[in-house]
Chains A and B, each alone.
Chain A
Amino acid sequence: MIASLGYALLVVALLVSVFSIIAYLLGSRQKNAGLLSSGRMGVIIGFALVTLAFGTLAVALLTHHFEIAYVAQHSSLELPVPYLISALWAGNEGSLFFWCWVLTLCSALVVLQSRKSERELVNYASIILSAVTSFFLILLVLVVNPFKTQAVVPANGAGLNPLLENPAMIIHPPLLLAGYAIFAVPFAFGIAALITRRLDDLWVIKSRSWAILSWITLGIGNLIGAWWAYVELGWGGYWAWDPVENAGLMPWLVATAFLHSVIMQRRRGMFRVWTMFLVILTFWLTIFGTFLTRSNILKSVHTFGTTGIEPYFVTMLALILIGGFWLLANRSRRLSGQNEIDSLISRDGSFLLNNLLLVASTFAIFLGTMFPAFASWFNQQDVSVGKNFFNMVNAPIFIAIVLLAGLCVLIGWKKVNLKDFNRRMLPPLVISVLIVVVLFIAGFRTWYALIAYLFCFFVIMATIWQWFGDLSRRRVVSEETSMPESAGPRFWASKNRYGAYIVHMGIALISIGIIGSSLFDQDQTAVLNPGNSTTLKQYTITYDSLDITQPDVNKMLVVANVSVMKNGKLIGTLHPQQTYYAAQDQPVSEVAIRTNVSEDLYVILSGWDSTTKTANFHILVNPLVMWLWIGSGVLLLGGLVCFWPQPLNTVNMPVTAAPKAQAPIKKSVTPAQNPNTDQRRNSNRR
């Protein structure tokens, strides 16, 4: 009963979604306001229907309707409520369903937020969004029906894989999926702009908040995934260049390029074709990523297995690629920019470089991920690409990107006064060099790491330097321009720029963590009997005892008690453990991590003998990992500052302040510091 209800809702939602497309198309052609408004209505009703359908699946999970195959496969009577909810996206059907639901939510918001003057663009964007929604609804109705029933109703479901029972399961998959889905909106606006030939900045203005939201969601989704892998999966690392991980990283990298390209387009009128190219590419990568996790094209992936969705996805991917780029090629003449890059050493130049590097890195990751598939299509011999390919190719690119993140903060738009630039670059550079010299004296001798660290410190110092410089310069300007006096409002008045600075600092901090943990990590496999100890770096690890208990019928808990000495002083005990779930025949390791700002001591119990109590440990010392998580927090903060709607009282300011301020500002600050140009960029109320 509940299954038929859910399925019926999906079918009706599909019909409504298709109806919307037709109503919009006819309405636009015939200039029929009635049809257009029913198209709009359709989008909102479509959202309501998909929400109801998704709610139905949630109810089915919560009330254990095991006649539904999905419910039986992904939940059980014993599963706690949060994990019952997370079962909504634990499987293939559910995760596509969630994608679709977020998409309809975004579509409805786009319709509701549109103003009269933007209607034409929004109408076409809604057509694109409805088309993408229809694609997912077709999949859900025809191929991966989440409400599919089974004749034999089991007494209990299979439950969630115990390995997935982690709070991250509740937030990591939906963040990634939502990040993918949200990017459909900028794509829809881009395509709508191409179709309607409204190639001014309106589409990027409408897209901006969505793109930032998608970027934050994807970025944090990836980072939480990394954290999850690190604390839960017990192999001591956080990123393995697994195709599934790459699928989440690639659209994020291109979206980063897009966000920068948008700034170039809006401030300098350049990169218009490029911006459009990036929006199409990012969206293509989100669909590709969704597909990659579910396809059989790669051998070494954790996939959902064969599901018959391949032809649909391949068609969709081809449509986006061919349709999108055909439209772009067709309209490229109209898109040509008004300005040229005056000098490579300018903020323009740094944005251009950053864009090229981000796309190049994505290209390399794509190639590495897909190489085994390509090779098997053209060659008899299957191959696999090792992790060091990705590290080797991306390390120099990422280091260059980090350096640019610092440089671009210091240089102005257009042509740059080199003297001025050198003057501004000197203090942060000197401080960073000093720190690196101190590190060198302290015994860091890996040149690769030292250079990378120099860049990271440079970014942080440059940002802080620029920040204080800005604030003190602003005070001078403010006398004439009635700019707000106190730091808070001044921050908010240019919040996009400061938000971006914070993000850049976050990236530098993350880089410090990544470089430290990948270049200076040490590990050891130890076979220990109770009472024995082993030494790794300055740590002495003593294996004291092993406790084997049986908390319930299904569970066996094995806890090793380990005491840790650092430089001969007892600093604490660790309890690496493993829980064995009999029903699923699944061991789940619980890593013991002793973390601080300089390094993590990471101990895994990898084997034991229940009679002799001999145990195997994998022990790692991972330097600076905590900076990865701190940097992630900083990144999120900066992203949110950019995403936060402009406070109304500052939005209107440039209108009053600009005419008066024009002359003195030109004299006193370079364009990069011009508060009014920043204002113009920020004043896009959503």
Chain B
Amino acid sequence: MKNKKFIIGGIIIGAAVIVLVILGLKTSLTPYYEVAALVSKGSAVYDKTVNVGGEVLPGIERNVSLAEIKFQIVDITDGVTTLNVVYHGSQVPDTFKEAAHVIIEGKYTSQGIFEANSITTKCASKYIPATTTGASK
């Protein structure tokens, strides 16, 4: 008897949370690719929002008058496959620089250019307590 309300309450809340979780996952799951995997997918992933992870190559071009940054990232595993990325905006983390490992959200376009919505950096073996993401809240 004692446990009955507990169990019913638990089931109702559990069910509600599961519904929320499923709905949430449906709207916020984004595929993640390494550079090589994304490039090999080609047209299959054009204009879909995806995340791509790679390492920033030297030669970051910043065009201040357009608030634009152009750079290349290379596949971390094979070290060969590269991807051209363009980002418009002003939310670039301080840790974004050459050789930084980044995760970029955006769309791969048929021109072979990745249009970034946000740039997140990952600092290998350095303790960064909070995120330095360039995305909005």
Q: Interface of A with B (CB < 8 Å)?
A: 90-92, 95, 161, 163-164, 169, 172-173, 225-226, 228-229, 233-237, 239-240, 242, 244-245, 270, 299-305, 337, 339-341, 344, 349, 352-353, 356-357, 360-361, 363-364, 367-368, 371-372, 381-390, 392-393, 396-397, 517-518, 521, 523, 525-527, 585-589, 604, 606-609, 612, 614-618
Contacts and interface: CB of A to CB of B under 8 A. Distances in A.
A527 B65 CA distance: 6
A618 B32 contact: no
Given A236-B136, A244-B130, A396-B20, A344 B28 contact: no
B136 A242 contact: no
A389 B31 contact: no
B133 interface: yes
27 contacts: A90-B127, A161-B126, A163-B132, A173-B129, A226-B130, A229-B130, A233-B130, A236-B91, A237-B137, A240-B131, A242-B133, A302-B122, A305-B125, A337-B2, A340-B2, A344-B9, A353-B13, A361-B17, A371-B25, A382-B31, A385-B25, A386-B30, A393-B17, A525-B90, A527-B66, A607-B67, A612-B65
Nearest to B65: A614
A517 B123 CA distance: 28
Interface string B99-137: 000010000000000000000101111111111111111
B28 A604 contact: no
A388 B28 contact: yes
Given A360-B17, A386-B28, A392-B24, A527 B94 contact: no
Contact of B128 (A302, A387, A396): A302
A353 B9 contact: yes
B120 A392 contact: no
A163 B131 contact: no
Contacts, number: 216
Contacts of A364: 17, 20-21, 24
Nearest to B1: A340
Given A233-B130, A614-B64, A521 B90 contact: no
B122 A240 contact: no
Contacts of A526: 90
Contact of B94 (A240, A299, A586, A618): A586
Contact of B32 (A233, A383, A388): A383
- Of A235, A299, A349, A523, the most chain B CB neighbours within 10 A belong to A235
Report, nearest first, the 6 A-B pairs whose CB atoms are least far apart. Answer: A305-B125, A386-B28, A618-B90, A242-B131, A389-B28, A606-B90
Nearest to B2: A340
A242 B130 contact: yes
B65 A385 contact: no
**Size band of the B side of the interface?**
35 or more
A649 to B, nearest CB: 39
Contacts of B79: none
B23 to A, nearest CB: 7
- Of A233, A239, A245, the most chain B CB neighbours within 10 A belong to A233
Contacts of A349: 5
Contacts of B30: 383-386
Contact of A523 (B120, B122, B136): B136
Contacts of A381: 31-32
- Of B27, B51, B89, B126, the most chain A CB neighbours within 10 A belong to B126
B132 A233 contact: yes
A302 B25 contact: no
Given A381-B31, A387-B137, A392-B23, A244 B10 contact: no
A228 B128 CA distance: 11
Contacts of B10: 356
Nearest to B130: A229
B92 interface: yes
A609 B65 contact: yes
A372 B93 CA distance: 23
B95 interface: yes
B97 interface: yes
Given A90-B127, A371-B25, A393-B17, A240 B133 contact: yes
Given A244-B130, A302-B128, A356-B9, A235 B93 contact: yes
Nearest to B133: A240
A383 B31 contact: yes
Given A367-B21, A381-B31, 4 more contacts: A240-B135, A305-B125, A356-B13, A390-B24
B48 interface: no
B13 A393 contact: no
Contacts of A586: 94-95, 97
- Of A239, A384, A526, A617, the most chain B CB neighbours within 10 A belong to A384
A138 B128 CA distance: 25
Contacts of A357: 13
A361 B93 CA distance: 29
Contact of B131 (A245, A303, A371, A585): A245
B46 interface: no
A416 B134 CA distance: 50
Contacts of B29: 371, 383-386, 389
Contacts of A356: 9-10, 13
Contacts of A234: 93-94
A352 B7 CA distance: 11
Given A614-B65, A616-B64, A388 B131 contact: no
A305 B9 contact: no
Interface in B30-79: 30-33, 51, 53, 62, 64-67
- Of A229, A360, A381, the most chain B CB neighbours within 10 A belong to A360
Contact of B25 (A172, A242, A389): A389
A253 B20 CA distance: 19
B126 A393 contact: no
Contacts of B1: 340
Given A172-B129, A387-B135, A397-B17, A300 B120 contact: yes
Nearest to B99: A585
Contacts of A163: 94-95, 128, 132
Contact of B6 (A242, A352, A388, A608): A352
